[in-house]
Amino acid sequence: MSPTFQNILIAALILFCMLNMAALMIWIERRLLALMQDRLGPNRAGPFGLLVILADMIKIFTKEDWIPPFSDKVVFVLAPAIIMATTLLSFAVIPFAPGIQVIDLNIGLLYVLAMSSIGIYSIVLAGWASNSKYSLLGGLRMSAQMFSYEVFMGLSLLGVVAMAGTFNLREIVDSQQRLWFVVPQFLGFVIFMIAGLAETHRLPADMPEAESELIAGYHAEYSGMKFGMFFVGEYVGVILISSLMVVLFFGGWHGPFLPPLVWFALKLGAFLFFFILCRAAMPRPRYDQFMALGWKVLLPLSLLNVLVTGAIILANT
Amino acid sequence: MLSHIRSLALVFRHLFRKNITIQYPEEKARLSPRYRGRIILSRDPDGGERCVGCQLCAVVCPVDCIALQAAEDENGRRFPEFFRINFSRCIYCGLCEDACPTYAIQLTPDVEMAEYDRPNLVYEKEDLLISGEGKYPGYNYYKVAGLSIGGKDKGEAENESPPINPKDLMP
């Protein structure tokens, strides 16, 4: 088998798995949320209610795909494609197991951060092109939230980068063979987790869509599969942040006895579970409180983290 | 910060709690005997209709879903010629049951009366009448009322003394 063909196969396989997992997340999230609220969740269609995914897909594909006449049509159509494309492209550098990686970039981490920055455009443009006030408010909140949390999302990872000495995600995983980075970089991990919540705008940090204030925020005017793209993009983003946490802080595929891919999947599953737990347990903070937390607490803490990590590494060399 | 972690732990523990969901068609919720569901018309212990067609239920009904027409048989017993309840209008408030002087109209703990066609929700007297006495067993309106009907004259009801002659001076 030629290496080019193998690469294409791996890329297609990862794409397939990620999209399917995003779809499966709909069911997992609904079931888990229900169990946490002492309910049962969807359990009628098919085994364990799994066919509810199929029903959701049929529904979302056959719904009227309405483009508002007052919107900026080109941008309106383009916006949901951007978030899907950027989040899926980010998976190109994630090392799932030795050899199962689309491209081994030596600036893999920077690439992921850049992609998530481009992903912001999707929401900002969606909010702007919808040409309605709630969408615009959602888009504005999103841009402010993302820009401010992007700052120390990168800063919180600098400790990991400094300790591993590389931006290459595979090498970062390899350098955690003896000790997971979550132990020396616990502060960085916590900050990255909160920033990740804000980046994926999941429930404790879902100010841009905030049902109770903005109805649906930036995707209020979207319907049909365009709305579905935002939906899938959000779930793929959750999987992306979870796999980043696994790769950067929890030793990637490393683990005893089980094969590497299984270890990765187990750790990934644990983080996906944690995301859903956060959604079930936490209330949405007020918008200004959330921004204040970012700039006044998390940013200084991440700077401190970089400083102390650097000092310790310097002292040891 | 600590409270966030505590709430996370609390919600996590709820994963293992018993679910409160009742899987409806397979298992049914227990409805109390006083639940206000499908309306029925009950009968005497003797098997006669309790309803005397007084219209009080139709008058008190806030959505006007009860329609009836009173009639009288050869014995002087009143009964409804027709009795119609439109359940697509009924709000199950139970006021008709409160208003009924003869315990005839009663609400039962039955809620499974869905239909595909709206006209099927209009229940006639044959659909409403049950063969039993409902919530008040042993109660017979004509046996305790002072009204004279065929086979029972004045003063013959339960706990009723014979009528006195007001023109008589004897004690």
Answer whether residue A216 shows pLDDT above 80: no
Can you read off the two tokens belonging to residue A141?
Answer: 């909140």
A28/B28 Cα distance (integer angstroms): 27
Answer whether residue B51 shows pLDDT above 80: yes
In a domain, A42, yes or no: no
pLDDT for the residue numbered B91: 93
Can you read off the two tokens belonging to residue B144?
Answer: 């305790």
The pLDDT confidence band at residue B146, using thresholds 50, 70 and 90, is: confident
CB–CB of A87/A236 below 8 Å?
Answer: yes
Q: Which residues in chain A are contacts of B20 at CB distance < 8 A? A: 38-39
The pLDDT confidence band at residue B64, using thresholds 50, 70 and 90, is: very high
Residues facing residue B122 across a β-bridge: B86
Q: Which residues in chain B are contacts of A280 at CB distance < 8 A? A: 11
Domain with A173 in it: 64-316
Answer whether residue B171 shows pLDDT above 80: no
Answer whether residue A1 shows pLDDT above 80: no
Least CB–CB distance from A277: residue in B8, B17, B23 = B8
State how far residue B1 is from chain A, nearest Cα, in angstroms: 11
% of chain A beyond a pLDDT of 90: 3
CA A268 from chain centre, in angstroms, equals 12
**Report for A221-230, A246-255, B101-110: range of highest mean pLDDT:** B101-110
Query: How do residues A86-97 score in pLDDT, each as one tens digit?
Result: 988 888 888 888
The CA–CA distances, whole Å, from A136 to A125, A132, A199, A224, A290 equal: 9, 6, 18, 20, 19
Q: How many CB atoms lie within 10 A of CB A35?
A: 18
CB–CB of A60/A225 below 8 Å?
Answer: yes
CB–CB of A135/A217 below 8 Å?
Answer: yes
Return all residues near A253 (Cβ < 8 A) that are at least 6 apart. Answer: A95, A96, A97, A98, A173, A260, A261, A263, A264
CB pairs under 8 A between A and B: 35
A237/A243 Cα distance (integer angstroms): 10
In a domain, A21, yes or no: no
State how far residue B5 is from chain A, nearest Cα, in angstroms: 9
Q: Which residue of B has its CA nearest to A204?
A: B4
Answer whether residue A99 shows pLDDT above 80: no
Residue linked to tokens 């980046």: A199
User: Which residues does B contribute to its contact with A (CB < 8 Å)?
Assistant: 4, 7-8, 10-12, 14-15, 17-21, 23
A4/B111 Cα distance (integer angstroms): 66
Q: What angle (nearest 5°) sits at the alpha carbon of residue A110, between those of residues A106 and A116?
A: 140
Query: How do residues A139-149 score in pLDDT, each as one tens digit?
Result: 888 888 888 88
Residue linked to tokens 């350098």: A175
Least CB–CB distance from B7: residue in A35, A40, A282 = A282
Can you read off the two tokens belonging to residue A301?
Answer: 């803490």
Across the range A22-28, mean pLDDT stands at 87
Residue ranges covered by each domain of chain B: 31-144
Q: Which residues in chain B are contacts of A38 at CB distance < 8 A? A: 14, 17-21
In a domain, A215, yes or no: yes
In a domain, A114, yes or no: yes
pLDDT for the residue numbered A11: 86
Answer whether residue A313 shows pLDDT above 80: yes
Can you read off the two tokens belonging to residue A159?
Answer: 């400790």
% of chain B beyond a pLDDT of 90: 42
Chosen from A33, A274, A277 to mutate, greatest number of chain B CBs within 10 A: A277
Sort residue B140 into left (φ over 0), alpha (ψ -120 to 50) or beta: beta
- Among residues A165, A195, A158, which one has the least CA distance to residue A303? A158
The pLDDT confidence band at residue A130, using thresholds 50, 70 and 90, is: confident
Answer whether residue A228 shows pLDDT above 70: yes
Q: Is the Cβ pair B14, A39 closer than 8 Å?
A: no
Tell me the Cα Rg of chain A.
20
ipTM > 0.85, yes or no = no
pLDDT for the residue numbered B86: 93
Answer whether residue A151 shows pLDDT above 90: no
pLDDT for the residue numbered B158: 82
Residue B65 in marked binding region: no
Q: Which residues in chain B are contacts of A281 at CB distance < 8 A? A: 4, 7-8, 10-12
Answer whether residue A208 shows pLDDT above 80: no
- pTM of the predicted model as reported, rounded to 2 decimal places: 0.79
Q: Which residues in chain A are contacts of B18 at CB distance < 8 A? A: 38
A48/A31 Cα distance (integer angstroms): 9
Across the range A33-39, mean pLDDT stands at 88
A300/A95 Cα distance (integer angstroms): 31
Q: Which of A142-156, A200-214, A293-307, B42-56 has the lowest mean pLDDT?
A: A200-214
pLDDT for the residue numbered B63: 94
For the domain spanning B31-144, the CATH number is 3.30.70.3270
Domain count, chain A: 1
State how far residue B25 is from chain A, nearest Cα, in angstroms: 12
Residue A110 burial (C-beta neighbours within 10 Å; 0-12, 13-18, 19+): middle
Return all residues near A165 (Cβ < 8 A) that are at least 6 apart. Answer: A175
Residues facing residue B80 across a β-bridge: B70
Least CB–CB distance from A35: residue in B4, B7, B15 = B15
CB–CB of A171/A110 below 8 Å?
Answer: no
Across the range B138-155, mean pLDDT stands at 83
Q: Which residues in chain B are contacts of A276 at CB distance < 8 A? A: none
Q: Which residues in chain B are contacts of A36 at CB distance < 8 A? A: 11-12, 14-15
The CA–CA distances, whole Å, from A23 to A50, A170, A235, B145 equal: 10, 27, 8, 71
Q: How many CB atoms lie within 10 A of CB A39?
A: 13
**Report for A165-169, B95-99, B164-168: range of highest mean pLDDT:** B95-99
A30/A58 Cα distance (integer angstroms): 18
State how far residue A234 is from chain B, nearest Cα, in angstroms: 22
Across the range A54-70, mean pLDDT stands at 86
Residue A150 burial (C-beta neighbours within 10 Å; 0-12, 13-18, 19+): middle
Q: How confident is the prediction for chain A on average, in pLDDT? A: 85
Reduce the DSSP state of residue A95 to 3 states and report it. coil
CB–CB of A256/A268 below 8 Å?
Answer: no
In a domain, A278, yes or no: yes
Residue A123 burial (C-beta neighbours within 10 Å; 0-12, 13-18, 19+): buried
Please say whether the dihedral angle defined by the alpha carbons of residues A231, A267, A159 and A177, taken in this order, is positive or negative: negative
Residue B90 in marked binding region: yes
Q: Is the Cβ pair A40, B17 closer than 8 Å?
A: no
Q: How many CB atoms lie within 10 A of CB B106?
A: 21
Q: Is the Cβ pair A36, B11 closer than 8 Å?
A: yes
Answer whether residue A212 shows pLDDT above 80: no
Answer whether residue B124 shows pLDDT above 70: yes
CB–CB of A14/A91 below 8 Å?
Answer: yes
Answer whether residue B1 shows pLDDT above 80: no
Can you read off the two tokens belonging to residue A199?
Answer: 């980046």
Least CB–CB distance from A40: residue in B11, B12, B21 = B21
